[in-house]
Amino acid sequence: MVIKKADIGDKIVSTRGIKGKVEKVNENSVIVEILENLSGNEFTNNKTVVSHKNYQII
């Protein structure tokens, strides 16, 4: 199965319930500005890293 990688500016939703906008694309992950957090986790700088395997582009 080929994983479709997000591009900078794409909006994604992670398998853990984080919706965000992609700021940087790395080889195995993306750095996301968090727009909505349904995961129950707290983030101090409003950004997180999400593996390409753990999100869908919306």
Q: Is the residue at 44 inside a domain?
A: yes
- 41 has pLDDT over 80: yes
Q: How confident is the model at residue 23 (pLDDT cuts 50, 70, 90)?
A: very high
Q: Is the residue at 1 inside a domain?
A: no
Q: What is the pTM of this model?
A: 0.89
Q: Is the residue at 3 inside a domain?
A: no
Q: Is the residue at 51 inside a domain?
A: yes
Give 29's contacts (C-beta < 8 A, 6+ positions apart).
49, 50, 51, 52
pLDDT computed for residue 55 by the predictor:
96
Q: Is the residue at 20 inside a domain?
A: yes
Structural domain containing residue 49: 11-57
Q: Is the residue at 2 inside a domain?
A: no
Q: How confident is the model at residue 2 (pLDDT cuts 50, 70, 90)?
A: low
Bridge pairing between strands 55-57 and 11-14: antiparallel
Number of structural domains found in the chain = 1
Q: What average pLDDT score do residues 2-15 get? A: 91
